């Protein structure tokens, strides 16, 4: 595929807004300088920031009730990579892709790797899938996978995870994310501790197969598909399992996988403190695991999460290397637009968190000055850092206004003849 988003095209689109950006940037530089902040270093850190795109995110998601596919959706991993490359070429903040198996399995995985290379994309964590049955699968996951009562089902689920590690090694990934839908729908259906013990036994077999430089990310989820109990239901069970398994196992935080109103930023702090933070699946929610676009409901929460992450950077916490990924379901928007927007929202939260005057904050904390401590965070949050993000994109050949630039080329319309609609595209919610 020849992307319409060439350097020349993006440059042409940028031309009209370049002078306005420069003026806004200069004004912001003066404002920040009065606060003792150096805009150039913020710009450099914005450039260095990255968040991975999930391969399944470039297709329309849907709900349990329906899925309304959009035009020219990608039909396989190669086309998904093309869409991911578009997102990165405009946003310059999404240089890697997180594949999901077996959805993204191909006969020739080396060709997948080479295509990613050709598009300038790297590989984030690989994701296994034992929450649904595949066509050629011998045993069903209807009643669970890694924690199933039947040892043969558990072995099949472990074998799939080992296969994912192999595929990941082929691509150059260095982490395996394991989320299981295991759980129960009725009180009494499942013996809680026996189910968790079976999970741990299976997880140990997967952990033992990890290459030396790999990590295993454990993802918890409070409910769905199991609606009464899930085996890895919250961060407590998650971190207990990660501690049981060993150094390479860490706890992943999907923002949507908590009860409403839970203090997620505090969970993040706890995981950092004990060296167990794997990273994030960014999204947003109003009620439950809604998988809405990052920052569209509660951008302050996203900022507060990054406040903890930047605090860890600021204090040079050892082995602090969280993986950042989006994990959303796009039901009514063009997935490319949602992913561009969301990646920028995540980057925005990071840059705003960099603006927090940490020494002042610590002093207010020591003095128990609650109001000023809160205002210190609010001052950073209320600062419009758009010019910094735009300059960081511009520095790397990206678009000043990525959405406008994307729309200017009519990407979907041009692809319609090559990408006819298919019944199932391996996209959805995770």
Binding site for Mn ion (CB under 5 A): 254, 281, 327, 430
Distances, alpha carbon 274 to alpha carbons 230, 239, 319, in Å: 24, 10, 11
Across the beta sheet with 53-54, what order do the strands follow? 53-54, 96-98, 122-123
Distances, alpha carbon 295 to alpha carbons 207, 283, 345, in Å: 33, 7, 6
Complex with Mn ion: residue 325 or 405, whichever CB lies closer: 325
Residue least distant from Mn ion (Cβ)? 281
Complex with Mn ion: residue 392 or 429, whichever CB lies closer: 429
Complex with Mn ion: residue 281 or 330, whichever CB lies closer: 281
Complex with Mn ion: residue 124 or 327, whichever CB lies closer: 327
How far, in Å, CA of 177 to CA of 281, rounded?
11
Complex with Mn ion: residue 146 or 391, whichever CB lies closer: 146
Complex with Mn ion: residue 79 or 254, whichever CB lies closer: 254
Shortest approach of Mn ion to residue 414 CB, angstroms?
A: 32
Shortest approach of Mn ion to residue 324 CB, angstroms?
A: 12
How far, in Å, CA of 308 to CA of 231, rounded?
28
Shortest approach of Mn ion to residue 429 CB, angstroms?
A: 8
Q: Which residues, 6 or more positions from 309, have their beta carbon under 8 angstroms from its beta carbon?
A: 268, 272, 322, 350, 353
Alpha carbons within 13 A on the beta-carbon side of 100? 24
Pick the closest to residue 25 from 42, 11, 13, 9 (CA basis).
42
Q: Helices 358-366 & 370-381, crossing angle to 10 degrees? A: 160
Asked if residue 295 lies in contact with residue 345, where contact means CB atoms within 8 angstroms, the answer is yes
Shortest approach of Mn ion to residue 349 CB, angstroms?
A: 18
Complex with Mn ion: residue 242 or 430, whichever CB lies closer: 430
Pick the closest to residue 116 from 158, 74, 142, 82 (CA basis).
82
Complex with Mn ion: residue 47 or 160, whichever CB lies closer: 160
SS3 54: strand
Shortest approach of Mn ion to residue 430 CB, angstroms?
A: 5
Pick the closest to residue 250 from 239, 262, 261, 235 (CA basis).
239
Shortest approach of Mn ion to residue 88 CB, angstroms?
A: 21
Distances, alpha carbon 192 to alpha carbons 145, 220, 226, 242, 374, in Å: 15, 15, 13, 18, 41
């Amino acid at each position: 595929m020849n992307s319409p988003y060439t350097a020349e095209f993006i440059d042409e689109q940028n031309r009209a807004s370049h002078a306005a950006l420069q003026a806004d940037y200069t004004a912001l530089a003066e404002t920040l300088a009065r606060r003792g902040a150096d805009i150039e270093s913020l710009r450099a850190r914005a450039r260095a920031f990255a968040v991975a795109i999930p391969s399944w995110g470039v297709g329309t998601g849907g709900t349990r009730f329906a899925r309304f596919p959009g035009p020219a959706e990608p039909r396989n991993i190669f086309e998904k990579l093309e869409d991911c490359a578009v997102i990165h070429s405009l946003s310059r903040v999404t240089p890697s892709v997180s594949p999901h198996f077996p959805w993204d399995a191909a006969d020739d995985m080396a060709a997948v790797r080479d295509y990613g290379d050709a598009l300038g994309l790297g590989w984030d964590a690989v994701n296994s899938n034992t929450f649904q049955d595949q066509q050629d699968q011998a045993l069903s996951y209807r009643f669970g996978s890694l924690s199933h009562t039947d040892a043969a089902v558990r072995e099949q689920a472990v074998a799939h995870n080992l296969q994912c590690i192999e595929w990941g090694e082929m691509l150059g990934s260095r982490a395996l994310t394991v989320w299981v839908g295991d759980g129960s729908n009725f009180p009494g259906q499942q013996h809680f501790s026996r189910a968790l013990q079976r999970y741990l036994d299976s997880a140990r077999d997967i952990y033992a197969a990890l290459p030396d430089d790999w990590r295993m990310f454990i993802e918890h989820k409070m409910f769905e598909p199991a609606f009464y109990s899930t085996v890895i239901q919250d961060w407590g069970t998650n971190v207990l399992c990660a501690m049981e398994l060993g150094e390479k196992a860490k706890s992943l935080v999907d923002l949507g996988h908590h009860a409403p109103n839970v203090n997620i930023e505090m969970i993040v702090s706890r995981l950092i403190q004990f060296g167990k933070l794997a990273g994030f699946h960014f999204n947003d929610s109003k009620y439950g695991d809604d998988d809405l676009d990052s920052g569209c409901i509660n951008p302050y929460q996203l900022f507060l999460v990054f406040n903890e992450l930047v605090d860890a950077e600021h204090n040079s916490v050892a082995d602090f290397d969280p993986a950042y990924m989006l994990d959303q379901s796009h039901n009514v928007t063009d997935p490319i637009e949602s992913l561009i927007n969301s990646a920028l929202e995540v980057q925005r939260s990071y840059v705003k968190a960099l603006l927090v005057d940490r020494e002042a904050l610590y002093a207010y904390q020591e003095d128990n000055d609650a109001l000023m401590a809160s205002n210190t965070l609010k001052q950073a949050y209320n600062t419009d850092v758009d010019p910094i993000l735009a300059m960081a994109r511009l520095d790397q050949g990206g678009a000043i206004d990525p959405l406008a630039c994307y729309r200017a080329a009519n990407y979907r319309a041009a692809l319609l003849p090559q990408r006819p609609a298919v019944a199932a595209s391996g996209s959805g919610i995770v």
